[in-house]
Structure 1
Amino acid sequence: MNTHMAQDTRVTDRLIQYHANRARGGAALIVTEPISMARHQNVSYRARAWNDENLDALKRWADAVESEDCRLLGQIQDPGRGRHNTGLNADAIGASALPDDLSWIVPHALTVAEIHAMIEDFACSAARLQRCGFSGVEISAGHGHLFHQFLSPWSNVRTDEYGGDWEGRTRFLTELIAALRAMCGRGFIVGLKLPGNDYVRGGIGPAEAATIAARLTRSGDVDYACFAQGTHGRELEWHLPDSNGPRAPYLSLFRELRRAIPGVPLIALGRITDPAEADKIIASGEAELVGLGRPILCDAAWPLKAAQGRARDIRYCVSCNICWDTINTHLRPIACVNNPRVARTDEVDWWPSPSAVRRRVVVVGTGVAGMEAAWIAAARGHEVTVFGRSPSVGGKTRLHSLLPGGEALSSIYDYQFAAAGKSGARLELGVSASAADVIALKPDAVVLACGSRMLPPPWLPPEVHDAGLVPDLRSAMSTLLGHTTRQSGTAIIFDMDHTEGTYAAAELLRALFDRVVVVTPRECIAQKTALVTRQGILRRFHEKRIETIALAEPRWSEGFGEGKLEYANVYNGDVGVIPGVVFFAYATPRVPEDMLAAPLRAAGIEVRLVGDCRSPGGLLAATSEGHAAGNSI
């Protein structure tokens, strides 16, 4: 996984700390993010290893990991023609001058001489890593990147020795593996990640993957193999399976492919989040190793806690892919919604340190922001009282967890609830606390985590809103949960939200109504989600026949009383009508529920606002701000 913790091609202390933490947390082997190992690779957020400028830092990196009895492997990878972001890439390279399936960028087709030079660069850089103390390298040849592009008949139509048949298409990797062995010797680990199924017609399916794996491992020069899914196109979502599908979804494929690599250790990967799942895979002989990417980002001590029988203490990955969005969309250092301490020196198996002074603290709100603040403040020794309007903790995250694909989100607030109980926080649930209720407790500090409310859209008449005829989507879903009887007619969502919860609600509605339509004033839906998440949403919408009407806004009319909703194009005003409407709700921008702040501050109380109560955002901001508040009191 990329961390975006290198800076200006330099190995940073933060990058080293991130990997050292995971080694200290019990990992047996760590594969780094891609390292710049060929002279054409000059990405600022990737550490450079093709010259000696990072020599001392590479040694410190290796020592920090290897000293914890953990093997450190550098990743050899090149995106080739692949690109996630908009715009052209004049430096794109590939097997053939064919467009990338996602960005449609056409690369420069590498010449034979350029391939030879790249192989030499990779081998020399691997030897440099070896001298610095790295135990090996992994060749990343999946995900639609450069090596995958050479392997696939979809992207490689060369007629020279690096194309044509399987011998030609695997030649780049065959020669690279041989060069690594010649340069670094037998004691140096060489791992290989290959495509298992890229889901592209005319690309690499399981049969082709088996052929490729057998050819590349038969020399005995590969120490282990693993298989990635998807490619750099509409199929990108499959390389990071999320909570809309089963856990460990690729085990049956791995059983099939391992027959092609007899005697070569296999790493199982892909949404393996629980120690029980990992133990079963190893015990059954389905794989020799289990790869953890997102789960060990979420909890650096995952292996340590698993080994100690402390699975309940793990902060579990919820497969939301916000980490992927952070590094690939926003190009920021990696972050996790369930781990606010990524790469800090005390990250591993962290528990709050006692406060020097015990204070009386009131937290208003039991969503994930409030619960994060509450358990940490209590664990630090403060006297903590938590007020929550709902009879259960979790807030809007709990609601999302009850919708299709949201179940894994419950682990966030389940952990917080258990930690709050362990730390002695007092929860007053089912209570809408007033300023007087809070002041009566004589708190030294108050954390307001009261959440937010959706704004009625401007086209909705106030009297219609006040009558509750068109509710906000959250309120509507709270009412519909538990209903299983199908109803005739059309359900409509007006979407100015563009986050996952709205589309999970649409899927629930599709199970209840004949027709579901999402109307949005933007050009498409799901614009606030990660690309890999958006791909899954769009695929499921089309599979379930959930309709979208883009660049449109409803237009209120008397016809709604007869089940007809008018809408107009935002540019030309063209009007359309949706008949048979029996459900209509809006998902719109939110405003903070911060009404308690002013009277509490007027009473001289120290007040902190977190999560949506401060500024409506997502899970990442909620847990981060709650974490900071709990530690700062």
Structure 2
Amino acid sequence: MSKQQFEHLFSPLQVGPMRVPNRIVETTNSIWASRSGGLLDDAFIAHHVGKARGGTGWIGGETWLLNSPLPPEAPDELLLRRVSFTTREALYQAPAFLEGATRYVEEVHKAGAVAVFQFSLFSCALAPSSVPVSEANDFVPHAMTEGEIDAYIDIYADAAAVAKATGADGVEIHCSHDSLPQSFMSPALNLRTDRWGGGPAERVRFIIEILERVRKRIGTGLALGVRLNGQEFRQGGYDHLEMREMTYTIAETGLLNYVNLDVGHSWGPHSYVPPSFYGPAEYREVGRAARADLDSSIKVIFAGRINDPVVAEELLKGNYCDLVGMARAGIADPEFANKAREGRLMEIRRCIGCNRCIQEANDSDLPDSLVKPTCSVNPVVGNELEWREKFRPADKPKRLLVVGGGVAGAEAARIAAMRGHRVTVLEQGKRLGGQLLIAAKAPGRDSFEDQVYFEENALDRLGVEVRLETRADRETIRVLAPEALVIATGALPRLPEGIPGIHLEHVVQGWDVLLGKADTGERIALVSQEDGFETLNVAEYLAERGKQVTIFHKSPSVGLATGRYSMGAVLSRLEHREIMVHSNRRLAEVRSGELVFVSSFGGKIYRIEGFDTVVLVYGAVPNGRLYEELRAEEPNICPLYIAGAAWTPRRIAEATQHGARIGLTI
């Protein structure tokens, strides 16, 4: 698709009083870019305004967590996973916040984009009824009184006045994803019999009164919109048809300039931040329905795993929406819009849908000041100021040799080549990519290969010499005579030692299963010693091929480290495939017809029969042998670095960042 073919995506649009230069929206996403506890500081501005400079027309920034009135002497509530944020004081009330927000808006405008602020009230302590708000926990809230409801509506209006003072172009009321307004909208959570409860038209009264008071504060000079969930996906919650009725009722007030739609749940499937297991814009019909229901003066944004400008153009052309939410696309590549406009589609680094960014921001128990934005494929995210300061051409270009073409090695090579070094990469496989090529074999993970394409294309453009199917040893390195050397030889699957029978023929590794190197029988015992995606992906890969799979897992639940925005998707897929899970089991012995497990906690012994093949998913161990040999036997060969999983196996982001930092340092 040439740049001329993006006729919709890069056309301007009037949204109430706000002129948006194109149809690309950074929907509000709380990635916690601030390094000063939530103030809109230099780090915040560098992250979000970077997207505006990269061509995104609408910058949503991060949500404003509003303050909440509490009864006398009641403590502030800052609960698990940020689900509840109930406090008397809000950061946006501080003069320093207004100063930073004003500067942020000015910078967005200088970059040619519009700035819209979103307001959120999250609380597991207060709600329309005493029904647990979030399925992430079972906290029972206080049912709000008439006076409390009135006070909360005023809080939104007060925040709107602050937003107007910054020079912002619009404000948005967050009415989905465990927010207080969604609690009023949900028939599962709002059991009231007064004027705030009842049918769909009554349950949106709370939102309508917020909009009325906000509009009085901001006048007609700012755009006003709502973020809505097109389908709740909660037991007893609203479906899409009921949502359409509520949206229409809100729109009939004449208060709205736009609606911002996504679909899903904040804990289970379908997630409103869809991971790679869902197709791009899978619930796009929600946007089309809103576009058909609403007056043309009310613009429709649709968001839901849209990481490709070609898909965005199709949505606009098909009248699914007027603007396209592309938050994660801009995290993975802040310049993707400019690249698309200029016809440089092959240069775009696409979001792979791993959800590391949203998980890192919202599942962390660290203080805000220690939470940094993270992207698996973009090492600059969360480190924008450092890269602005340190990235510059090399003082003296060197001959750099990188051994290993996984993400750590590829990023070291890419960044070093961008700085002017002459780079050669030796990769023993047939392609770059390392473990990404293994992960991409799993169902719903094919998007991981997008990062491989990005690295291959980038290294080719930069003139990096890539030698595939080439093993490196000390003699090879001596012949090439590098002036700097990076060892990025990755990791190997971990084989537990000391377990009798572990080397029997019917015991295989999960990596080999995904690569098609291991044959299995029909009845699979998958023994898991890791809490991430690997167990789930290997299990589904086997089940998709008709195997009967049972997981024996060390922890109380599989997938504990996958994050709340992905866990529901992967667990529902296991359920769909009828994959059984036995928790709190550690393998003790393998026999020809029997497996022996010991309880992770109580020490009880379990003897299991009836399996043809044992598949091990035990994580990985570093493959740093070459590095250690060189360090011991060739200490003066040249500056020597070790990168990524060859140092210690972690996740994609750690490998990407490690390799990139080496490329920045050499």
With normalisation by structure 2, the TM-score equals 0.87
Q: Equivalent residue for 1:52?
A: 95
Note closer, same or farther for the CA distance 1:348–1:23 as it changes in structure 2 (3 Å cut).
Answer: farther
Answer whether contact 2:307 2:329 (CA < 8 A) is retained: yes
Query: What are the equivalent positions in structure 2 for 1:133-144 lying under 5 Å apart?
Result: 133-144=167-178
Tell me, yes or no, if the aligned pair for 1:24 and 1:348 is still in contact at 8 Å: no
Secondary structure, counterpart of 1:342 in structure 2: coil
| Range with bigger deviation, 422-431 or 30-39 | 30-39
Q: Which residue of 1 aligns with 2:539?
A: 506
Q: 1:554/1:124 Cα in 2 relative to 1: closer, same or farther (>3 Å)?
A: closer
Residue 512 of structure 1: CA displacement? 2.7
Q: 1:566 aligns with which of 588, 591, 596?
A: 596
Structure 1 counterpart of 2:478: 439
1:380 aligned onto 2:419? yes
The letter of the residue matching 2:609 is P
Question: Counterpart in 2 of 1:413?
Answer: 452
1:464-502 residue CA offsets vs partner (Å, 9 max, x unmatched): 52x654232212332358x9xxx8631122111222133
* CA distances 1:252-279 after superposition (whole Å, capped 9, x unpaired): 2322333332322111210111111111
Report the Cα offset of residue 572 of structure 1.
4.2
Q: Give the CA deviation at 1:201.
A: 3.2
> What SS class does the counterpart of residue 73 from structure 1 fall into?
strand
2:373/2:382 contact within 8 Å kept: no
Partner of 1:269: 303
Aligned to 2:19: none
Mark the CA change 1:533 to 1:4 in structure 2 (over 3 Å): closer, same or farther. same
Rounded to whole Å, the distance in 1 between the matches of 2:179 and 2:492 is 43
SS in 1 for 2:516: helix
Alignment match, 2:279: 246
Per the alignment, residue 282 of structure 1 pairs with 316
- The answer to whether the aligner puts 1:34 opposite 2:34 as a matched pair is no
Cα deviations by residue, 1:130-176 (Å, 9 ceiling, x for unpaired) = 12111111111011211100111110111222112334311111011
- For the 8 Å contact 1:489–1:514, the answer to whether it is kept is yes
- Secondary structure at the residue paired with 1:234? coil
The answer to whether structure 1 residue 20 and structure 2 residue 49 are counterparts is yes
Structure 1 residue 8 displacement after superposition: 3.4
Measured in 1, the distance between the counterparts of 2:224 and 2:615 equals 55
Aligned to 2:290: 257
Between 52-61 and 40-49, report the one with greater CA deviation.
40-49
Q: Secondary structure at the match of 2:65?
A: coil
Moved more, 62-71 or 575-584: 575-584
| SS of aligned partner of 1:259 | helix
Between 163-172 and 191-200, report the one with greater CA deviation: 163-172
Alpha carbons 2:529, 2:553 under 8 Å: kept: yes
Deviates more, 1:244-253 or 1:570-579: 570-579
Map of 2:32 onto structure 1: 4
Q: Which region of structure 1 is more displaced relative to structure 2, 195-204 or 451-460?
A: 451-460
Q: Deviations over 1:435-475 (max 9, x none)?
A: 221122211211111111233224533x752x654232212
**CA shift for structure 1 position 577:** 4.1
1:479 equivalent in structure 2: 516
Hey, what does 1:88 align to over in structure 2? Answer: none
Asked if 1 retains the 8 angstrom alpha-carbon contact of 2:549 and 2:580, the reply is yes
Query: CA separation of 1:115/1:207 partners in 2, compared to 1, >3 Å: closer, same or farther?
Result: same
Q: Distance between the aligned counterparts of 1:441 and 1:348, measured in 2?
A: 30
**Corresponding residue of 2:585:** 552
Q: Tell me the equivalent position of 1:470.
A: 507
Q: Is 2:33–2:382's contact at 8 Å kept on the other side of the alignment?
A: no
The structure-2 alpha-carbon separation of the partners of 1:348 and 1:163, relative to structure 1 and needing over 3 Å to count, comes to farther
Partner deviation per Cα, 1:266-296 (whole Å, 9 max, x = no partner): 1121011111111111122221111111111
State the partner residue of 1:357: 396
Deviations 1:312-331 (A, max 9, x none): 11110011000011111125
Distance (Å, rounded) in 2 between the aligned partners of 1:589 and 1:345: 31
TM-score normalised by length of structure 1: 0.91
Across the aligned residues of Structure 1 and Structure 2, the Cα RMSD in angstroms comes to 2.5
Deviation digits for residues 104-124 of structure 1 (CA, Å, limit 9, x no counterpart)? 111122222122222222212
Whole-Å separation in 2 of the counterparts to 1:227 and 1:522? 37
Aligned residue for 1:86? none
Contact 1:36–1:50 (CA under 8 A) maintained in structure 2:
no
| Superposition deviation, residue 212 in structure 1 | 0.6
* Residues 17, 343 of structure 1: 8 Å contact kept: no
SS at match of 1:494: strand
| Structure 1 contact 50–121 (Cα < 8 Å) conserved | no
SS in 2 for 1:474: helix
Q: Distance in 2 between matches of 1:423 and 1:472?
A: 37
Query: SS state of the match for residue 238, structure 2?
Result: coil
Answer yes or no: is the 8 Å Cα contact 2:521–2:613 preserved in 1. no
**Which of 603, 606, 623 pairs up with 1:593?**
623
Q: Distance in 2 between matches of 1:19 and 1:443?
A: 39
Over residues 50-88 of structure 1, what are the superposed CA-to-partner deviations in whole Å (9 max), with x where a residue is unaligned? 35342221211110112222111111111122xxxxxxx
Taking the aligned partners of 1:48 and 1:270, their CA distance within structure 2 comes to 29
CA–CA distance in structure 1, aligned partners of residues 564 and 423 of structure 2: 40
Q: How many residues align?
A: 613
Structure 2 CA distance, aligned partners of 1:229 and 1:254? Answer: 10
Deviation at 1:399, TM superposition (A): 0.9
Change (3 A) 1:43 1:295: farther
The Cα of 1:582 is off from its aligned counterpart by 2.2
Counterpart selection for 2:562 from 516, 529, 544? 529
Name the counterpart of 1:76.
119
1:538 Cα deviation after fit = 1.2
Distance 1:207 1:347, change over 3 A: farther
The percent identity for this pair of structures is: 26
Structure 2 gap ranges (5+): 1-28, 71-75
CA deviation profile, 1:152-211 (whole Å, cap 9, x unmatched): 111011122211233431111101111111111112111111121011232110111011
State whether residues 534 and 617 of structure 2, in contact with CA within 8 Å, keep that contact through their aligned partners in structure 1. Answer: no
Q: Matched residue of 1:49: which SS?
A: helix
**What is the aligned partner in structure 1 of residue 614 from structure 2?**
584
